[in-house]
Chain A
Amino acid sequence: METIVDLLQSIADGLLFGATYSLIGIGFTLVFGVMHKINMAYAAASVAGAYAGLTLLELAALPGPMVILTACLAGAVFGLAIYYLCFRLIPLSHPLATLMSTVGMLLLVDEIVVHLTAGMPVNYPTVVRGMVSFGSFLLRGDLMFIFAVAVLTMAALMYLIYRTRLGLATRAVSQQPVAAQLCGMSLGQVNALTFTLTGALGGIAGALIGSAVGLLSPLLIAPLTVKGLIVTVIGGLGSIPGAIIAGLLVGAAENVFQFMRGVTERDIYVMLLLFVFLVFRPGGILGTDPARN
């Protein structure tokens, strides 16, 4: 009996935390959907956004929970910067160059963060404390808050994409860039806005992760990049609903693996999960059929 409750606990905690993975996954998948390229520096920018958000918070002497807002703003700025530095000026005929430049950016951001913080982890405000308990089954307050914020963010995003003109423009550009341009849409503007949007998303995700863990460290960047990409692939490249589901799945699975085999082996099984999907469903949970050509 004890173990089953513990297992359920792991799953619940994992699901709630997994919402942040969903946000990161959405960020990767949106950029892929619009530009057919992966922004390898995305998770790094998210963490950097969280750091910057914290700094802004302290500078402006704002209350703790506002860190989500400041991180969101910082993330948006970083997202736009990445667009100009890594995507705007490199011709489409050199996809490797874009990939490499985002990798370079990932290293750059990682190093900057390490330098500015002297490599020491930084405490992050936890927004909500306390928990709700059902016997020995606990629902952590902070995780529930994170889940709620993440869900709200995703809802706002879906609204933006499916019910506004900006979102329409984004979808048009991703489906038919040439036709979209012929209809008068500025490709550069739409792409820049997409990056700003995903940057904001990333900033929120970074802040939420920081809250959940209680601190921020540059060591978060690499695993977050890998897990974010795994979520994107499992969910199907280009599919936002897929990323949402996959994020929750990976969050829950990760916790279950940890519960069963411990922290050091946990990530191996997450990779295995990815490979299972790649073998049986390379298009992802909700992805489009992998194109023939």
Chain B
Amino acid sequence: MDFYLGLLQIIGVHTLLGLSAYVLLLTGQVSLAQAGFMAIGAYVSAMLTVLARWALLPSLLAGGAVAAVVACLVGFPALRVRGLMLVVATLAFGEAVRLFFFNFDYQIAMGGIRVGPLGGEGFRQIRYFPENGWTTFEVMLFIWMVVGAVMAALWWMDRSRAGAVLRAVGEDEVAAQSAGLNLTAVKVSAMTLGGFIGGVAGGLYAHYTTHIEQGNFNVLVATFAIAYPILGGLSNVFGTLAAVVFIQGFLIEGLRFLGDWRNLLFGALIVLAMNVRPSGLLDAKSMAKDLSALRRLLEAVRDGVATRWLIERLKDARAEARRLLAKWRGAFGA
């Protein structure tokens, strides 16, 4: 039972991580820095609860706030680099943050022992939950309340003018400027919001694992962060959630019998998914097309014309296969 609770906790935190990248992707900014913001939020909030004995919620918010401020500062120079250079710059920033914490020591003596972050060793004994009598179940519930709140806020934002503005900037910056939108304000705001969400994710992570170190916020994690919204599609927030559930739940845990080969499968899956469905494996619009196809099949069954319908579909499939084959042949020959 504890195992499944733990899994739900991971899914929750990673959903927040994915959402922090989602906001940025809407504006067209691909950021590999989200793991860095997560690290900042993790260390700050943990230091507040452990060293300054703050309550949990204010610490989480403070962690998010500090991450947001850093994100805002990063947002401005980020404007000067376009597209792929931004990927590199944010990757470098994320690594810089990780390396910073690798060298970061701040320990004080409390109750006879020294507590606090210690460079490569990391930050141990983040014992807020155990000390205050939280059960694993309660922790999981709390995490999901936060996730729920963030998802609701982003869902609502998506339907508001802000959502349209973010997507307009992401789609065509020149048109957006010419329509009167302030690109700097929009993009930096998105970066700040993404930083905040990432920071909160980090704070939750630090407290439920009770021990964090710089290796927890590396390039792989940064990759997961953007993988979720890309695989889940940018149509809405649920795509990201679905991608997290799929990857963490099904792939990593469900395929545990594959042992060490899981990660290999993860890489292969991504390559495959991007080739088969570039707009995102779990993208809402593509899935809608699939669902309506399914609906039509069921209607055909209901109307008793299933066989005829199936034959038509097989004919279509054969034509499609021929087309694909021609494309593949072209790929290898042309």
Contact = CB atoms under 8 A, between A and B. Distances in A.
Given A274-B89, A275-B77, A264 B260 contact: no
Interface stretch (A56-64, A93-101, A166-174): A93-101
B154 interface: no
B88 A230 contact: yes
Given A101-B271, A271-B93, A274-B89, A94 B279 contact: yes
A92 B88 CA distance: 21
A111 B263 contact: yes
Interface stretch (B55-63, B195-203, B225-233, B297-305): B225-233
Interface stretch (B8-16, B96-104, B179-187): B96-104
A37 interface: yes
Interface string A97-111: 111110111111111
B96 A104 contact: no
Contacts of B99: 264-265, 267-268, 271
A16 interface: no
Contacts of B95: 226, 267, 271
Contacts of A100: 226-227, 230-231, 270, 274
Give the interface centre of B93, B103, B174, B275 by most chain A CB atoms within 10 Å: B275
A112 B267 CA distance: 10
B223 interface: yes
Interface stretch (B78-86, B107-115, B160-168, B312-320): B78-86
Interface in B200-220: 218-220
Contacts of A101: 270-271, 274-275
B85 A282 contact: yes
Contact of B271 (A104, A279, A282): A104
A98 B266 CA distance: 16
Interface stretch (A47-55, A68-76, A80-88, A201-209): A80-88
Interface string B244-283: 0000000000000000110110111111011100110000
A278 interface: yes
B330 interface: yes
A229 B331 contact: no
Given A89-B331, A103-B223, A230-B92, A278 B267 contact: no
Interface size bracket, A side? 35 or more
B263 A107 contact: yes
Contacts of B120: 264
Contact of A278 (B89, B273, B278): B89
Interface string A180-197: 000000101100000000
Contact of A97 (B85, B102, B230): B230
Contact of B274 (A104, A110, A186, A278): A104
B92 A271 contact: yes
A138 B330 CA distance: 55
Contacts of A105: 267, 271
B220 A107 contact: yes
Contact of A222 (B218, B266, B270): B218
A108 B100 contact: no
Given A100-B270, A101-B271, A111-B264, A264 B89 contact: no
A233 interface: yes
A112 B264 contact: yes
B103 A293 contact: no
A91 interface: yes
Contacts of A37: 84
Nearest to A109: B267
B102 A107 contact: no
A232 B95 CA distance: 17
A107 B103 contact: no
Contacts of A293: 173-174
B267 A108 contact: yes
Interface in A257-272: 264-265, 267-268, 271-272
A290 interface: yes
Given A104-B269, A104-B270, A282 B80 contact: yes
A20 B30 CA distance: 28
B50 to A, nearest CB: 24
Interface in B46-88: 77, 80-85, 87-88
B308 interface: no
A28 B267 CA distance: 21
B271 A278 contact: no
Given A233-B85, A237-B84, A278-B80, A272 B96 contact: yes
B96 A271 contact: yes
A68 B263 CA distance: 30
17 contacts: A101-B270, A101-B271, A103-B227, A104-B270, A104-B274, A108-B264, A109-B267, A110-B267, A111-B267, A112-B264, A189-B334, A264-B102, A264-B103, A268-B96, A271-B96, A278-B81, A282-B85
